[in-house]
Structure 1
């Protein structure tokens, strides 16, 4: 007779051990799988929120420096364009008729630097006012120091007659336009100089649902400045985040 020490496991005992180990393995694997899925979902959600915060902050900051009434939105609401302020200030010209120099005090503390394609605009109210040949805008060909502190002379490319002046005697100088577009499930930014040459689009955000994202513009009224609103919907791996934001463009002509 064999002693108990020399006896092995019975077939039933082996089967029971295998079954128990299988159950434990499945349970542990499911636990690890749930933890991994939770981590991936949290990571995707954080990435979407980070992109959204960056996009909202980037657009908001740039809109604060938009030349008044230069904002345009395409008919489908997918693109927003505006002209960022390069320099602005208060002119002191007693008349805006047949002049070739705008003399004024700029708000920036640094000395203005001349750049090609510079355009100076006074009292713009419609898109046509930003045309280089309009009666509200003129091309700048040189910038010279004025006779007083922080006073500068913006030399125009010829005699110009401005159609109307600014009640606050403000002028704005810009060199290009900025354009944000929602296309191909992405948000991009490009610049367009005053000759119409576009830069390569820069990717700002991905995973955008273009069907649920758009820009809206409420133009300036007598009692307030222009309002720009946009809705961005981000979707990735079943995670969806929707952001609605409105910015008031404070600059006034």
Structure 2
């Protein structure tokens, strides 16, 4: 009669040890693969964030009045253009309240400050006469429309454009890094110095980017001349606090110049 056969204690221990080794290797392999997927996803997110931030800055800076750009490293300020046209002739009176201009596309109206030429002058220190007007409005209509200074104000321009060109700009906008954030400031009016009296909360301050490496943002402005356009170069670095990995972006933006 056959004897019943089973496993000895030694065999059971060996099987358990082999299974433990296989399980450990499997868990380690799966964990490393999962970590690789997570790290790759995080890198892709940082790269995408860098592209989005760079594209937003590029689009905004392209709409800047070229001779309004000024930077000091971590901050840049400019006056956004909202409309542009040509004037028929600037008044020669001592205190003009309006002037005639070619209507805006579609006969639309617009409001802001009128800027005419002004190269070599500080647009942020308002003066009358000067290249930057007080708030004004371009009337709707066609083919010629009046450009009128608001609330009975008057202004005389001290220079004329070679192309009889004028721009309508809004109040200045500033981008500035603070810690890991890049903020956009607006609705603070004209300030003589870059970074003076900026808003400290919404709606005058809004976050453009987060997760920046400290002191990594740098803006540089090459001013426009009559022979070439203005160029803005900027750099920033996105950093992962957990892993220490970084993603750096460098970009140049050409700001078209029609004096």
Of residues 231, 234, 240, the one that matches 2:235 is 231
What does 1:153-164 align with in structure 2 at a 5 Å threshold?
153-156=146-149, 157-164=152-159
- TM-aligned CA deviation for residue 4 of structure 1: 2.7
Instruction: Return the structure number with greater strand share.
Output: 1
Q: Tell me the matched-pair count.
A: 244
After TM superposition, which residue ranges in structure 1, 4 or more long, deviate above 6 angstroms? none
Q: Which residue of structure 1 lines up, in the alignment, with residue 194 of structure 2?
A: none
Q: Which residue of structure 2 lines up, in the alignment, with residue 100 of structure 1?
A: 97
What does 1:65-214 align with in structure 2 at a 5 Å threshold?
65-74=63-72, 77-93=73-89, 95-98=91-94, 99-109=96-106, 111-114=108-111, 118-126=112-120, 128-134=122-128, 135-145=130-140, 148-149=142-143, 151-156=144-149, 157-194=152-189, 198=199, 199-214=203-218
- TM-aligned CA deviation for residue 85 of structure 1: 0.7
The answer to whether the 8 Å contact 1:121/1:130 transfers is no
Q: Distance in 2 between matches of 1:215 and 1:51?
A: 19
SS at match of 1:211: coil
Which region of structure 1 is more displaced relative to structure 2, 37-46 or 172-181?
A: 172-181
Q: Distance in 1 between matches of 2:244 and 2:162?
A: 53
Q: Distance in 2 between matches of 1:81 and 1:230?
A: 13
| Structure 1: 5+ residue stretches without partners | none
Q: Distance in 2 between matches of 1:38 and 1:209?
A: 23
The answer to whether the 8 Å contact 2:103/2:140 transfers is no
CA RMSD of aligned residues (A): 2.4
Q: Distance in 1 between matches of 2:48 and 2:22?
A: 39
Q: Distance in 2 between matches of 1:31 and 1:97?
A: 83
